[in-house]
Amino acid sequence: MKKLILCMIAAVAGLTAAFGATAFKQDFKMDTSSYVPFDAATTLTLECPDSEGAKWIKAHFAEWFGNAAPKVVEGKTELSLPEAPADAKADRQIATYDEAYAAKVDASGVKIKARTLAGVRWACNTLRQLAIAKRGTFKVEGRILPTLTIVDKPHLAFRAVHLCWFPETRGEQIERAIRLAALLKFNYAIVEPWGTYKSEKHPWFAWPDAPLDKAEVKRLVAIGKDLGITLIPQLNCYGHASFARSSSKKHSTLDINPDYEPLFEPNGWVWCIMNPETQRVLREIIAEMHEDFGNPPYFHIGCDEAFGAQKCPLCVKGSHSEQLLAHLNGLSDFVKSRGARAMMWHDMLLDKTDPKWKNFVKFGSKESASIVDRLSRDLIICDWQYSYDNMKKKHVEWPTISYFADKGLDVAGCPWMNYLDMMTMSEHIVSKGAFGFIETTWHRLRGKEWEKMYMNAAHAAWGSPVSHGVSFQRSLRLVGRDMKIKNYLDTGYINYQIPPSYNGD
């Protein structure tokens, strides 16, 4: 559950003031000494112009609470929602007000006000996270809620998590991560299969028995759509072409299907972009994935860490920067022709020898960084900055985000495990009118890191103080119940309490 530690409001108010970024302040008051019934005798009054809101609550209350579900009626409430300031310039700033909600719980019942189905969902998520079983009985006989009032809205319109599906990853883990992200009010999840997407057209590029087939993609997309989180597919279209971690020396194609060697540069890490067959294959897989994912508004083309390539005789000829530009703009145009925008990681676009990027992530050469001004403005730059110089420091300056934004590119700030400065990054994104916020998780989607990544990022994306403790655990458990989890391995935030390889005493 978000935002439950009121004593931290003051600290965040200080932060917001320092950046002067937002007029809105979350209003949250809760009295845990005064619980009221939240059961079949309770009436929930919903005020929302979208009739889908009431339908959504009724369906989900039946799913979550069964016979103990409160009654839902549509009607006027005395609640009010925050209004977008008159000087709001960007559509994406105004869009955050469309997701606002207000809720009130007292002895007279429960009231929710929202402008959209999205706001209704976030309000219900909040109430569900706060509801506990009625006390003093053997089994659940209804629930109770603390009396409360809340007026809330997200800080950013685009709030994503980035999820990696390795061959080692359990499918249940990805579904739990998607559902939990929605419960914590993220509205996008970028899904990056690491050789685990089963293309019908090009099955050779995945590991054998790849779990993410069409039916599974469609099932997950439908779950996300219902919960208010849009899934975005990712295909690495330059570096990371092995679809395996570099430290593993594995390659999802070349280790099993060596016939396809000409599609890659000799070391296999990078696609051979001057081979017209590579360009055909990438477009065919992008089209297939995009369609399987229900044609979402974005498609991530990867392109990070494209270093160390030993160039083939085709690619060694001509200008590297012109090759890159044609490759990236060509893919962007192709994604645009499908009605979507391409996203790419930023690192090749910053010159690693430029001292102004000291302490920031940059892997570009002078050549690769030189293409920024001629890149298609349809591309969204995903600027991953992990505070590698000092992860215990709260960084305030985010010059790389400013660099891309000032050049008129849409840019998303992407933290990882730099928990301390996620809030300052979120504030910086808002102050620059930048595109959004993407929490990356890589191979750390488990244990304490999972909790810290999700909790800190969710709160940064909503511009509110972090509350640790039982909230992640309770939220994860709600997700498990929704999935009707019965397997021990799919409970908690680790598969095993004691790893199978453990030989200690």
Q: Is position 221 an interface residue for Zn ion (rule: CB under 5 A)?
A: no
Which residue number, 367 or 378, has a Cβ lying nearer to Zn ion? 367
Which residue number, 81 or 314, has a Cβ lying nearer to Zn ion? 314
Which residue number, 312 or 411, has a Cβ lying nearer to Zn ion? 312
The whole-angstrom separation of Cα 80 and Cα 103 is 9
Of 207, 267, 194, 201, nearest in space to 233 by CA: 194
Taking CB under 5 A as the binding criterion, the range among 304-312, 440-448, 471-479, 485-493 that sits at the site for Zn ion is: 304-312
**What are the C-alpha distances in Å from 408 to residues 348, 398, 401, 434?**
18, 16, 11, 10
Q: Is position 102 an interface residue for Zn ion (rule: CB under 5 A)?
A: no
Of 22, 36, 154, nearest in space to 87 by CA: 22
Task: Give the nearest distance from C-beta 205 to Zn ion in angstroms.
Answer: 17
Which residue number, 230 or 278, has a Cβ lying nearer to Zn ion? 278
How many residues form the binding site for Zn ion (CB under 5 A)?
5
Provide the token pair at 322: 């012109």
Q: Is position 324 an interface residue for Zn ion (rule: CB under 5 A)?
A: no
Task: Give the nearest distance from C-beta 225 to Zn ion in angstroms.
Answer: 39
Taking CB under 5 A as the binding criterion, the range among 160-168, 215-223, 271-279, 281-289 that sits at the site for Zn ion is: 271-279
Angle in degrees, 0-180, between the axes of helices 447-462 and 470-482, rounded to the nearest 10: 100
The whole-angstrom separation of Cα 105 and Cα 108 is 8
Q: Is position 326 an interface residue for Zn ion (rule: CB under 5 A)?
A: no
Task: Give the nearest distance from C-beta 190 to Zn ion in angstroms.
Answer: 27
Q: In what helix (H) or strand (E) does residue 299 lie, and over which residues does it extend?
A: strand 298-300
Task: Give the nearest distance from C-beta 241 to Zn ion in angstroms.
Answer: 11
Q: Is position 241 an interface residue for Zn ion (rule: CB under 5 A)?
A: no
Which residue number, 117 or 270, has a Cβ lying nearer to Zn ion? 270
Taking CB under 5 A as the binding criterion, the range among 79-87, 189-197, 312-320, 430-438 that sits at the site for Zn ion is: 312-320
**3-state percent breakdown (helix, strand, coil) of the chain, nearest 5:** 40, 20, 45
Q: Is position 289 an interface residue for Zn ion (rule: CB under 5 A)?
A: no
Which of 314, 326, 391, 483 binds Zn ion (CB under 5 A)? It is 314
Which residue number, 157 or 371, has a Cβ lying nearer to Zn ion? 371
Task: Give the nearest distance from C-beta 278 to Zn ion in angstroms.
Answer: 8
Angle in degrees, 0-180, between the axes of helices 52-65 and 117-130, rounded to the nearest 10: 20
Q: Cβ(184)–Cβ(154) under 8 Å?
A: no
Which of 212, 217, 272, 350 binds Zn ion (CB under 5 A)? It is 272
Task: Give the nearest distance from C-beta 306 to Zn ion in angstroms.
Answer: 12
Taking CB under 5 A as the binding criterion, the range among 95-103, 177-185, 264-272, 396-404 that sits at the site for Zn ion is: 264-272
CB atoms under 10 Å from CB of 371, counted, come to 21
Provide the token pair at 230: 């849009």
Which residue number, 264 or 493, has a Cβ lying nearer to Zn ion? 264
Q: Cβ(238)–Cβ(302) under 8 Å?
A: yes
Taking CB under 5 A as the binding criterion, the range among 3-11, 54-62, 315-323, 420-428 that sits at the site for Zn ion is: 315-323
Q: In what helix (H) or strand (E) does residue 445 lie, and over which residues does it extend?
A: none
Which residue number, 314 or 420, has a Cβ lying nearer to Zn ion? 314
Provide the token pair at 387: 């505070």
Q: Count the alpha carbons within 13 Å of 492 in the hemisphere toward its beta carbon.
A: 10
Of 148, 256, 142, 146, nearest in space to 210 by CA: 256
3-state secondary structure of 327: helix
φ and ψ at residue 146, rounded to 5 degrees: -70, 150
Provide the token pair at 12: 């965040």
Task: Give the nearest distance from C-beta 321 to Zn ion in angstroms.
Answer: 15
The whole-angstrom separation of Cα 462 and Cα 122 is 11
Q: Is position 309 an interface residue for Zn ion (rule: CB under 5 A)?
A: no
Q: Is position 163 an interface residue for Zn ion (rule: CB under 5 A)?
A: no
Angle in degrees, 0-180, between the axes of helices 171-183 and 470-482, rounded to the nearest 10: 120
Taking CB under 5 A as the binding criterion, the range among 43-51, 309-317, 338-346, 418-426 that sits at the site for Zn ion is: 309-317
Q: Is position 340 an interface residue for Zn ion (rule: CB under 5 A)?
A: no
Taking CB under 5 A as the binding criterion, the range among 153-161, 308-316, 331-339, 440-448 that sits at the site for Zn ion is: 308-316
Which residue number, 232 or 273, has a Cβ lying nearer to Zn ion? 273
Q: Is position 5 an interface residue for Zn ion (rule: CB under 5 A)?
A: no
Which residue number, 79 or 312, has a Cβ lying nearer to Zn ion? 312
Burial 218-248 (b: 16+ CB within 10 A, else e): eebbebbeebbbbbbbbbbbbbbbbbbeeee
Rounded to a whole number of angstroms, the distance between the first and last alpha carbons of the chain is 37
Task: Give the nearest distance from C-beta 270 to Zn ion in angstroms.
Answer: 8
The whole-angstrom separation of Cα 55 and Cα 59 is 6
Which of 114, 164, 178, 315 binds Zn ion (CB under 5 A)? It is 315
Taking CB under 5 A as the binding criterion, the range among 10-18, 57-65, 143-151, 267-275 that sits at the site for Zn ion is: 267-275
Q: Is position 312 an interface residue for Zn ion (rule: CB under 5 A)?
A: yes
Q: Is position 417 an interface residue for Zn ion (rule: CB under 5 A)?
A: no
Which residues are at the interface with Zn ion (CB under 5 A)?
A: 272, 274, 312, 314-315
